[in-house]
Structure 1
Amino acid sequence: MRTIENRAEDAVLNGLNVFLGIALFLAPWYLELSSETSAARNAFICGAAIAVIAMLALSKSYDWEEYLNLAVGLWVAAAPWALGFAEMKYVMGAHVVIGMSVVALSGFELWRLYRSPEARSV
């Protein structure tokens, strides 16, 4: 397992993931979805997971946190087709954009964690 003490740029990246998680969590309300739909349930659960995992990574980044957020981001991006709400264009767009943004931020954090000279094994 790798870890790195976070610097200012790490806090910004993890802060963006917190923001994206909160945005996904709130998406059912601003997209006026019924809370009984699979899209709303997915947004609530995955948005909360992304935000909580990113908050844990604010002070110190571990590789497992970034891998977990990467996996959740991939699921969020694929969920419209897997759960059958791809015909809801705005909901699908929110899931794909937020999911791929989380994937990109987590991927960059993992790259930095393994390529950074400050990274160390724990």
Structure 2
Amino acid sequence: MLPRILNALLGLWLIVSPAVLQVDTNIADNAHIVGPIIVTVSVIAISDSVRNVRLVNTLCGGWLLIAPWVMGYNNLPATINDLVVGSLTIGLSLVRGHVGHQFGGGWRSLFQDDPDHSRQASQR
């Protein structure tokens, strides 16, 4: 859960960083789009049942790593900010964490003769 919270905080920093770093509109627009996505995905991924949603933040972090060159940033602090936030976002999104509960069996359970969740339900 801690990596998800830290990722959410990184997303919040990304939202406010254009005002702090005083960057131009293209860089600010990028931060104002990617930041809320990182926050939303991080908060959703706190739940055990949708923990794998955290991997969407890997894509967001990857975009932040290449955005300075794709968008042609002309601001060194903004470039460093995106590289640091992107790297941390990728690293934190790859932390699997402890899964406390198992929910159903996913889509693969539809194609099994005796799925785990069915066996557990009949034992109760």
TM-score (norm 1): 0.76
- Asked if 1 retains the 8 angstrom alpha-carbon contact of 2:61 and 2:86, the reply is yes
- Which residue is equivalent to 2:6? 16
Q: Counterpart of 2:78?
A: 91
Task: State the distance in 1 between where 2:91 and 2:101 align.
Answer: 21
Quote the residue 2:120 is aligned against: none
Partner Cα separation in structure 1 for residue 40 and residue 100 of structure 2: 27
Structure 1 segments, 4+ long, off by >4 Å, are 116-121
2-side partners of 1:29 and 1:92: how far apart?
15
Q: Confirm whether residue 103 of structure 1 aligns to residue 93 of structure 2.
A: no
Aligned length: 104
Name the structure with the higher strand share: 1
Cα distance in 2 between the residues matched to 1:38 and 1:24: 14
Q: Name the aligned partner's letter for residue 5 of structure 2.
A: G
| AA matched with 2:12 | I
Q: What does 1:52-71 align with in structure 2 at a 5 Å threshold?
A: 52-60=40-48, 61-63=50-52, 65-71=53-59
Determine the C-alpha separation between the residues in 2 that align with 1:96 and 1:119. 35
Deviation of the 1:19 alpha carbon: 0.1
The aligned counterpart of 1:6 is: none
Paired residue type of 1:59: S
The answer on whether the counterparts of 2:23 and 2:75 sit within 8 Å (CA) in structure 1 is no
CA separation of 1:119 and 1:96: change in aligned 2, threshold 3 A: farther
Q: Which has the larger radius of gyration?
A: 2
- Alpha-carbon distance, 1:33 to partner: 2.1
So what's the TM-score if we normalise by structure 2?
0.75
